[in-house]
Amino acid sequence: MESESNRADPSENRIAAKLRAAYLRGKERILALRRAQTMTEYGLILSAVAAVVYVAYHSMGGSINSMVIWTIIAGDLTGS
C-alpha cells in the first residue's frame, strides 16, 4: 500500500511540468544566443581581414599593378 507521501499531488505535477517547460525554453534561448554570438564573431573577423586587405592593397596598389601584365591575364582568361 502506498503511503501518503509517495503519492504525487496533481498540482505538483502541473508545477513540475511548467518548470520543466520553462527550463527547456531557457536552454533553447541560450543555445540560440550562442549561435548568434558565433556568427557575430565570424562577421567581426571577416571585417578585420577585409580592412587589412584594403589597407595593404592601397599601400601597395601601384607596385601590384606594375607587377601584373593585365593583357596576358585577359588573353589567358578568354582563350585567345
Flag whether 23 is in a domain: yes
Q: How many domains does the chain have?
A: 1
Flag whether 5 is in a domain: no
How far is the C-alpha of 61 from the C-alpha of 53, rounded, in Å?
Answer: 11
Is the distance from CB of 18 to CB of 25 less than 8 angstroms? no
Each residue of 43-68: pLDDT tens digit? 999 999 999 988 988 888 767 667 66
Q: What is the pTM of this model?
A: 0.47
- In whole angstroms, what separates CA 75 from the centre of its chain? 41
How far is the C-alpha of 28 from the C-alpha of 20, rounded, in Å?
Answer: 12
Flag whether 25 is in a domain: yes
How far is the C-alpha of 15 from the C-alpha of 17, rounded, in Å?
Answer: 5
Flag whether 24 is in a domain: yes
Q: Which domain holds residue 26?
A: 10-78
Q: Which amino acid is at 36?
A: A
- pLDDT at position 1 over 50: no
